[in-house]
Structures are given as structure tokens and as C-alpha cells.
């Protein structure tokens, strides 16, 4: 029985040999590796690191976009018993430096000259960093003795394959495999220590669910960064365990083209991606003649009814089934084909997703899987079952995971997937667990009578108005973001008399709305200051307010003209809102919304 990811890797390479395992599109060209090549190159990287003095338990950091070398570094590092530290490209320089120094990394692997400059700065301030490995060609780059090219690293490890086998097989389940630093929505980043046992618990659990999520005939086109714990756990490691082929997209901007070329059968995505696809579809519909709009919304209604009946496991009336077949041909087939025509399911995990959006995708034959997890339990703790699910819940706990709800509503998690603790943070580690050993998630949730878990909000994000009303902002934000006019919608109101919001407007949709209402402008950005257009925004807000309880309604809002982003500091790399940052950054604007009585 396989006990470490190293054993899994060796066994899959032996089983699939010359079959394509991984590929990556770079500069418009796909470059791939068979299972044998994948293993051989990872072994070369591992032995190269070993030649540089990296030993069991030592830390190796990587700062790079998705590429084959990322995967070789991951499996090579783990193969010699060392520990990989993945770092997002969007992490600010100071935070990168903190992670390198805090983790006491001996080696830093970087992608290109931009990342190399960061690495040299870190090297000059942290003497513990012994070597910087650069993936791209070293030509015209600074020539320091502490910088080495990736090819040279691999050439150092081309021999002594028996050494790699011995090192890989000596790794125990309790040994540390990776330290994943939290994205830091509050405070300094904390390094979650993940063992081989944690990794194996997750991938074996996912594989034990029936019906199976995936088989070795499946293909994915990953576009989430490998630094994202969900992509690495459920995509990279689970994909390896099952034996799927992973074709890594060139970038988020080319994803649709890459999907068209590779025609995946499964997709890992976060809710924001589903929201953007749905908003784009609605935006395109609004450009159509009225008769086409009528057909779309008729089909949309039919598809929603069909999806709801499937969810409830009820029979579909014959007339409705006939109408759905027509609607599928006219509407939903185009969505399926836009995603390559073969996608069976896609995930929307990490945050709540609008029921309306999920029903729409389900009607296209693309089942949306909702799930819940966190870095500290190496991504998934619950997942929707392909045959038994409830939209709006995150499914039931995956096999081997025990979840209970604390008296204050907090979700508590226990299982072999739960991390070892925070790196060099004994107090924070102790504070993360209950006395009986459950991980305190910081999320609020509840089980229904059938055992499905619903996440209501983050414990720290829960808004309590000055009138004492408890408000879950994500539920409200989710509803507003189903409107293609809003790209972001952040609810404000803790200890305030009423709720307000900071809003980003989708300028593509804004242009279409302006045309439909004969509002003139020179540049789309000008619409955000246009009184007529702002009045339309107010109407959209008012319409959504009609579906909310009085204390949940948005009384005031301010349009933020700069899009919330990772670079601006408002979003984490997984596109979650950093509420503390938003509150601090836009404090004056927020205060202005509460200056006058309503």
C-alpha cells in the first residue's frame, strides 16, 4: 500500500511509462513529458539539489508560474526527503523575503529575470540562502557564484539513480513534505506544515468516493497556480494518483483557447471563474435582438427547472424534457462547446457560488462541484458527490474526515488530512485546535438533516450591526455578483446602523448598458461619474434589495473606480477579499457613507 507521494510517483511512472503525463503551453507551443520523462527529470532535479547539499528536511522554495520545471522541482525535492515551499508570483517582495527567511530555505528556484532580481535582493539580506536556481536561460543575467541555471542543476543529477530511489523510499508518512504559507488575509503569513500522510489522506479519500471523480482516461487543463493549495492537492497530486494527463494552460488570458485545443474532461476552478463566464454570457445576450433574448431566457428557465429536478432526484415530465432538448441545442450546447465539449464537471470551491449560476452550468451538462477546505487540511474537507448533492451546500465530509459544529457555529475538523501545525509558531498551533484535537476552521456553518454542510460565513467576517442583527456578507455579495454589472461587491456594516457596499463595475457590461440607454461617453471609465449611469446602478441595487430582508438591504454604496486586485492588495492569490485591507484602504470612503442619517 502506497504511504507517500514518492511511492505513488514511482508506481505511476512504472505503470504508464511512455504515455503523456504532463504538458505546458509556452509562447503558443505545447511542450510535454511522458510519465518516464517526468520521473527521470524530477529525479535529476532531486539529485542535483542533493549534490548542492540539500538533505532530508531541508527547505527548497520556488517562485514561478506553472511550468514543467515547477513539477520537476516539486517531485524532485520531495523525492530526496526535502520540503518544498511554493510562493505565489503575486506575493509582495517583502512577504517573499519573509517566507524565505522564516522557512530557512537553502535553495530558491525562480522562473525568470524579474524573479531573479527579487532573489538577489533576498540573498543580500539573508545569508542562509545558499543558491538561486533560475529556470530560464542565464544569458545576459548577472553572473554570481550563487546563481545556477536549471539545466546545470539537472546535469548534476543525471547519475546515481539508485541514490534517488533509496532517498525516496526512506521518506516516512509523518515526514514533512511541504510548507504552505497562508495568503495572509490578516496578520503575517503562517506556514502550514503538510506531511506525506496529509497528502495521502486527501488523495486516497477523493479516490474512494463513488461515483469516481476521475479515471486515468481523464484530461485536465489546469490554470490555477500550482502554488494554490487546491490545485496542488486536488489537481497535481490527486491527478498523479489517478493517472490523468494534465495540460497546463499558457495563462488565464488564453484559457479558453487552450481548452478548445485540449478538450478537457474535468476542470478545477474557483467561484470567481464561474461567475465571470456566466457574466460574459449574459453580457453577450444583452447585445442580441429582443427575439434572441427571449429565446435565451426561455431556455434559461427550462434549464433551471431541469437542473433543479435532477438535484432533487425527481422524474422529468415528458413535455419539459422535450423543451429542454430544444433549449440545450439552442443555448447550452454552445456553453459546453466553449469549454471544449467534453467537460463532465468543474469545481467552484473556496467560496459560495450563486445557485443561479450552478443551475445554468448543470443545465449544460457540466456539473458544478462545490466543496470546502482550507490550507490547514490540505484543501478539501468536504465535496459534493456527483450523484448526490445539494446546491448551496459544500457536500458531506470526504471519507476519513470528521466534522462537527461548535456551540458558536464554528466548523471543527479532524482527520489525517489535518496539518501538523504552523512552522515555528507553537502558540498559534496550539490556538488552532480545540482541547479534543479538532482544527478550528474560523468558518461558520451548519449541517442539514441529510448531513450536507452549508457555510454561512467566516467567523471573523460576520457583520453585527449596531442594532444587533447578525449578517453574513458573503451571501449578499454572492447575490449581487450574479448581476453582470458588478465585478466585485463588498458589504460593509459591522457596528453600523445599516449596510453599505464598495462596488466595482464591469466596464464591458457598462458599455452595453450605456448604449441601450443612449448615454454618451468618450471612455468607458467616464460612465462611473455619469449621473444617468449611476442612477442605473442604483436601480440594479434596488432590484436586488427586493430579495433581501430589510436589515440585509444595501442602503448606500460607493463605486471604486480601480478594480480590486491582488496587486492592489484587496484580493488574495485565490481571489478572496482581504476585508481588513479593504476597510483600511477605503476608510475615508466608508466613513463618508455613514456621515448623514438615512
pLDDT digit string (tens) for 379-415? 999 999 999 999 989 999 999 999 999 998 999 999 9
Query: What was the pLDDT predicted at 56?
Result: 98
CA distances from 130 to 92, 100, 101, 116 (A): 22, 11, 12, 14
Asked whether residue 186 carries a pLDDT value surpassing 60, the answer given is no
Strand order in the sheet with 486-492: 486-492, 499-505, 554-559
Confidence (pTM): 0.82
Give the residue from 503, 505, 501 showing the smallest Cα distance to 527: 505
The per-residue pLDDT for 468 is 64
State the Cα–Cα distance between residues 151 and 44, nearest whole angstrom: 10
User: Rounded mean pLDDT of 528-552?
Assistant: 90
DSSP-assigned beta bridge partners for residue 134:
110, 149
pLDDT for 185 beyond 50: no
**Could you tell me the three cell numbers for 233?**
492537492
Q: What is the pLDDT of residue 393?
A: 93
Say which residue, 241 or 470, is predicted with more confidence: 241
Cβ count within 10 A of residue 92: 14
- What does the pLDDT average to over 188-209? 96
Lowest-confidence pick of 87-96, 270-279, 526-535, 539-548: 270-279
- What's the mean pLDDT in 257-266? 95
pLDDT > 80? residue 469:
no
> Is residue 269 predicted with pLDDT exceeding 70?
yes
User: Are 482 and 275 contacting, i.e. CB atoms less than 8 angstroms apart?
Assistant: yes
State mean pLDDT over 4-25: 98
* 138 pLDDT higher than 80: no
Mean predicted confidence (pLDDT) in 329-354: 87
The whole-angstrom separation of Cα 140 and Cα 352 is 47
- 519 band by pLDDT with thresholds 50, 70 and 90: very high
All structural domains of the chain: 198-224+241-410+444-458 (3.40.50.12780), 463-592 (3.30.300.30)
Cite the beta strand spans of 453-560 per DSSP E.
453-458, 463-464, 470-471, 486-492, 499-505, 554-559
In this predicted structure, what is the pLDDT of residue 351? 67
Range 322-345 average pLDDT: 92
Mean predicted confidence (pLDDT) in 239-247: 98
pLDDT(457) > 80: no
User: Average pLDDT of the chain?
Assistant: 91
- For the chain, give the percent of residues with pLDDT over 90: 70
pLDDT at 18 over 80: yes
Q: How far apart are the first and last CA of the chain?
A: 66
Q: The cell 484530461 sits on which residue?
A: 219
Question: Model confidence over 82-122: pLDDT tens digits?
Answer: 999 999 887 878 889 999 999 999 999 999 989 998 899 99
Sequence-separated contacts (24+) of 327-334 with Cβ below 8 Å: 327/298, 327/299, 327/300, 327/302, 327/303, 327/363, 328/299, 328/303, 328/363, 328/364, 328/365, 330/295, 330/299, 331/295, 331/296, 331/299, 331/300, 331/303, 332/299, 332/303, 332/363, 332/364, 332/365, 333/364
Per-residue pLDDT, averaged over 315-341, amounts to 93
Evaluate if residue 598 carries a pLDDT over 50: no
Lowest-confidence pick of 461-465, 543-547, 584-588: 461-465
Amino acid at each position: 500500500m502506497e504511504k507517500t507521494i514518492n511511492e505513488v510517483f514511482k508506481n505511476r511512472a512504472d505503470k504508464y511509462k511512455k504515455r503523456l503525463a504532463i504538458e505546458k503551453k509556452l509562447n503558443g507551443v505545447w511542450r510535454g513529458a511522458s510519465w518516464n520523462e517526468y520521473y527521470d527529470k524530477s529525479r535529476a532535479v532531486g539529485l542535483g539539489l542533493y549534490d548542492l547539499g540539500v538533505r532530508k528536511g531541508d527547505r527548497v522554495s520556488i517562485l514561478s508560474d506553472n511550468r514543467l520545471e515547477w513539477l520537476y522541482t516539486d517531485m524532485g525535492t520531495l523525492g530526496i526527503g526535502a520540503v518544498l515551499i511554493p510562493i505565489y508570483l503575486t506575493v509582495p517582495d517583502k512577504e517573499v523575503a519573509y517566507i524565505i527567511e522564516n522557512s530557512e530555505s537553502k535553495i530558491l528556484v525562480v522562473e525568470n529575470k524579474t524573479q531573479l532580481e527579487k532573489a538577489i535582493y533576498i540573498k543580500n539580506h539573508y545569508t542562509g540562502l545558499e543558491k538561486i536556481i533560475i529556470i530560464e536561460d542565464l544569458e545576459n543575467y548577472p553572473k554570481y557564484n550563487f546563481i545556477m541555471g536549471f539545466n546545470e542543476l539537472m546535469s548534476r543529477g543525471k547519475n546515481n539513480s539508485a541514490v534517488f530511489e533509496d532517498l525516496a523510499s526512506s521518506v516516512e508518512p509523518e515526514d514533512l513534505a511541504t510548507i504552505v504559507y497562508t495568503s495572509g488575509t490578516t496578520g503575517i503569513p503562517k506556514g502550514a506544515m503538510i506531511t506525506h500522510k496529509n497528502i495521502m489522506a486527501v488523495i486516497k479519500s477523493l479516490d474512494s468516493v463513488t461515483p469516481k471523480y476521475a479515471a486515468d482516461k481523464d484530461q485536465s487543463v489546469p490554470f490555477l497556480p500550482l502554488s494554490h493549495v487546491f490545485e496542488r492537492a486536488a489537481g497535481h497530486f490527486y491527478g498523479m494518483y489517478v493517472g490523468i494527463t494534465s495540460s497546463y494552460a499558457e495563462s488565464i488570458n488564453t484559457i479558453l483557447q487552450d481548452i478548445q485545443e485540449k478538450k478537457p474532461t474535468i476542470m478545477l476552478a474557483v467561484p470567481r471563474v464561474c461567475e465571470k463566464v456566466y457574466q460574459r454570457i449574459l453580457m453577450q445576450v444583452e447585445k442580441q435582438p429582443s427575439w434572441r433574448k427571449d429565446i435565451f431566457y426561455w431556455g434559461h428557465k427550462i434549464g433551471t427547472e431541469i437542473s433543479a429536478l435532477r438535484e432533487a432526484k425527481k422524474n422529468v415530465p415528458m413535455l419539459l424534457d422535450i423543451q429542454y432538448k430544444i433549449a440545450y441545442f439552442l443555448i447550452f450546447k454552445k456553453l459546453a462547446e466553449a469549454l471544449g465539449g467534453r467537460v463532465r464537471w468543474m469545481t467552484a470551491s473556496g467560496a459560495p457560488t450563486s445557485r443561479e449560476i450552478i443551475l445554468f452550468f448543470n443545465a449544460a451538462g457540466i456539473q458544478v462541484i462545490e466543496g470546502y477546505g482550507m490550507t490547514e487540511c490540505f484543501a478539501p474537507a468536504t465535496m459534493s458527490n456527483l450523484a448526490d448533492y445539494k446546491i448551496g451546500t459544500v457536500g458531506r465530509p470526504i471519507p476519513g474526515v470528521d466534522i462537527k459544529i461548535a456551540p458558536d457555529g464554528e466548523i471543527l475538523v479532524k482527520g489525517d488530512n489535518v496539518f501538523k501545525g504552523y512552522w515555528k509558531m507553537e502558540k498559534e498551533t496550539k490556538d488552532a485546535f480545540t482541547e479534543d484535537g479538532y482544527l478550528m476552521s474560523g468558518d461558520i456553518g451548519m449541517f442539514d438533516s441529510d448531513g450536507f454542510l452549508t457555510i454561512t460565513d467566516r467567523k471573523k467576517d460576520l457583520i453585527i450591526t449596531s442594532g444587533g442583527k447578525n449578517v453574513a456578507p458573503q451571501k449578499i455579495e454572492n447575490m449581487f455578483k450574479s448581476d453582470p454589472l458588478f465585478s466585485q461587491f463588498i458589504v460593509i456594516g459591522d457596528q453600523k446602523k445599516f449596510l453599505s457596499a464598495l462596488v466595482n463595475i464591469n466596464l464591458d457590461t457598462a458599455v452595453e448598458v450605456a448604449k441601450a440607454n443612449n448615454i454618451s461617453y468618450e471612455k468607458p471609465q467616464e460612465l462611473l461619474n455619469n449621473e444617468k449611469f449611476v442612477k442605473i446602478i442604483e436601480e440594479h441595487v434596488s432590484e436586488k434589495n427586493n430579495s433581501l430582508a430589510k436589515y440585509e438591504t444595501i442602503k448606500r454604496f460607493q463605486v471604486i473606480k480601480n478594480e480590486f486586485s491582488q496587486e492592489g492588495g484587496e484580493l488574495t492569490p485565490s481571489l478572496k477579499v482581504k476585508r481588513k485591507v479593504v476597510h483600511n484602504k477605503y476608510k475615508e470612503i466608508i466613513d463618508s457613507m455613514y456621515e448623514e442619517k438615512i
